[in-house]
């Protein structure tokens, strides 16, 4: 019996990896334009980190984490808590008051696998730590929009404010009273959430609950003066930057650490998994984890969903992977020399491929086409005996003789310079 991948854990095959690498290159480039630096954290963290940050009454902590209970460790379900742990542990705020950090890597949640949702998934995560100004919120959101624009993706942006520890408790009381009056119309999960985490009821995907919350009170109606001013300034700054958005008064995030500005980038092209990216402000999180009292805001984007959306919208062609040159060794007597020449070409910086089987020219030209080689160097036994080879341009099919004399390194240097010159438009 063949062993297959675990349900919810997916292989990313070579033909898909090119799209992933393209997304990652674009992200790294844009993050660098905004002054972000990369940080890499371990996959395993102490379970307490996520319980204290995400919230004990969240679905992530209650149902979805991959936890080794006897060890007290968990495979990270999201990146922000790990970034904050590293930030605090290494005193990064001492080095620089405002830190702009990003990370790219796998996360793990035991969810029901479906299109765009896996149990091992990958995220681009960006965080700004130590800046409380509303314009910072707008700048981070604009960076996310810029990445999506440069990937050629069409999405919509929705905003909300989740208030702060001053205005949120009175709102929760109002919301609990509202939900209690409609207890019978809620699903079992939302009946439980009404008493443990009432904000999560606003985000339930079941139609019966969605119908109930349409009449629910909104935090935007009861924001304290500071939160109201902050949200107004965020909206104004986004308008100044030309970022189009709409207000979703029922938007909440699945993690308890969010405060004030929250946002989501949404698409209608991925079915139920509408969000390709989301984030928000978390001003109390760092202090809650034992660090200094600093503000923070961040977002995450799912690589799987970005790749799916690029494929779905089909509006951006990813350049095909290609080789500079394929060395076709015809006959076994030329294989040793051709292998040395290929290695020397690679040392010069060329992307070079070779088939050591000594197959026919026709078979090797097909192989050159499969690896998308721009040039093929044909090393036949007769030509090699005369110190020659044939260089074929695979685009124009033009051929020219190439002398093979002198040290192998000089041959490789000369040949690489020749193909670079010929490849220029």
213: pLDDT strictly greater than 90: no
Nearest to 60 by CA among 253, 273, 291: 253
Looking up tokens 């629910």, which residue turns up? Answer: 216
Residue ranges of domains in the chain, CATH in brackets = 14-167+223-313 (3.30.930.10), 323-417 (3.40.50.800)
**What's phi and psi for 148, nearest 5 deg?**
-65, -40
End-to-end CA distance of the chain, in Å? 53
Residue partners of 385: CB distance under 8 A and separation at least 6: none
Q: Which of 423, 394, 410, 420 is nearest to 341 (CA)?
A: 410
Say if strands 323-329 and 352-355 run parallel, antiparallel, or are unpaired.
Answer: parallel
- Produce one character per residue of 98-125: b if its CB has 16 or more CB atoms within 10 Å, e if not: ebbbbbbbebbbebeeeebbbbbbbbbb
Q: Could you read off the pLDDT of 23-54 as tens digits, one per residue?
A: 999 999 999 999 999 999 999 999 999 998 88
User: For position 306, what pLDDT does the model report?
Assistant: 93
* Residue 326: closest CA among 391, 408, 407: 391
Task: Kindly state the DSSP code that residue 6 receives in the 8-state scheme.
Answer: P
| Confidence at residue 181, expressed as pLDDT on a 0 to 100 scale | 81
Q: 217 or 236: which carries more pLDDT confidence?
A: 236
Residue 59 has pLDDT above 90, yes or no: no
- pLDDT tens string 349-402: 999 999 988 889 999 999 999 999 999 999 999 888 888 999 999 999 999 999
- Residue whose tokens read 């119908």: 211
Structure tokens given for 390:
């044939």
Phi, psi of 156 (to 5 degrees): -115, 155
Average pLDDT over residues 5-20: 90
The per-residue pLDDT for 201 is: 81
CB 342 within 8 A of CB 327: yes
Q: How far is CA 14 from CA 19, 96, 122, 373, in A?
A: 10, 40, 17, 17
**Average pLDDT over all residues of the chain:** 89
For tokens 């700004």, name the residue.
128
Structure tokens of 273? 């998994």
Give the whole-angstrom CA distance, residue 415 versus residue 213: 70
Q: What pLDDT, on the 0 to 100 scale, is given for residue 39?
A: 97
């Amino acid at each position: 019996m063949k062993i297959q991948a675990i349900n919810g854990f997916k292989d990313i095959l070579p033909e898909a990896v090119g799209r992933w690498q393209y997304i990652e290159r674009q992200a790294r480039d844009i993050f660098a334009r905004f002054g972000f630096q990369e940080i890499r954290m371990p996959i395993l963290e102490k379970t307490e980190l996520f319980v204290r940050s995400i919230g004990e009454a969240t679905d992530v902590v209650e149902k979805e984490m991959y936890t080794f209970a006897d060890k007290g460790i968990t495979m990270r379900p999201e990146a922000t808590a790990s970034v904050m742990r590293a930030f605090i542990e290494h005193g990064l705020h001492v080095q620089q008051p405002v830190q702009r950090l990003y990370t790219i890597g796998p996360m793990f949640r035991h969810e029901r696998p479906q299109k765009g949702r896996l149990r091992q998934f990958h995220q681009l995560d960006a965080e700004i730590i130590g800046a409380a100004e509303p314009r910072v919120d707008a700048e981070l959101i604009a960076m996310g929009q810029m990445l999506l624009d440069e990937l050629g993706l069409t999405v919509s942006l929705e905003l909300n404010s989740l208030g702060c520890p001053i205005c949120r408790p009175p709102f929760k009381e109002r919301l609990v009273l509202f939900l209690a009056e409609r207890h019978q119309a809620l699903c079992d999960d939302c009946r439980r959430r009404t008493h443990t985490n009432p904000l999560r009821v606003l985000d339930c995907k079941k139609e019966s609950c969605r119908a109930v919350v349409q009449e629910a009170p909104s935090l935007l109606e009861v924001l304290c003066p500071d939160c109201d001013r902050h949200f107004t300034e965020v909206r104004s700054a986004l308008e100044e930057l030309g970022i189009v958005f709409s207000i979703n008064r029922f938007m909440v995030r699945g993690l308890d650490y969010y405060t004030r500005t929250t946002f989501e980038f949404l698409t209608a092209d991925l079915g139920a998994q509408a969000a390709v990216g989301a984030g928000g402000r978390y001003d109390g999180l760092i202090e809650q984890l034992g660090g200094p009292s600093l503000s923070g805001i961040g977002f995450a984007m799912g690589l799987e969903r970005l790749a799916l959306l690029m494929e779905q919208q089909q509006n951006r062609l990813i350049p095909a992977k290609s080789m500079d040159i394929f060395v076709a060794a015809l006959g076994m007597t030329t294989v040793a020399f051709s292998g040395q020449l290929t290695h020397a070409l690679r040392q010069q910086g060329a992307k070079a491929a070779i088939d050591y089987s000594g197959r026919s020219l026709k078979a090797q030209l097909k192989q050159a086409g499969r690896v998308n080689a721009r040039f093929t160097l044909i090393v036949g036994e007769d030509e090699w005996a005369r110190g020659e080879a044939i260089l074929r341009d695979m685009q124009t099919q033009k051929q020219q003789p190439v002398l093979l004399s002198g040290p192998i390194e000089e041959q490789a240097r000369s040949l690489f310079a020749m193909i670079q010159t010929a490849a220029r438009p």
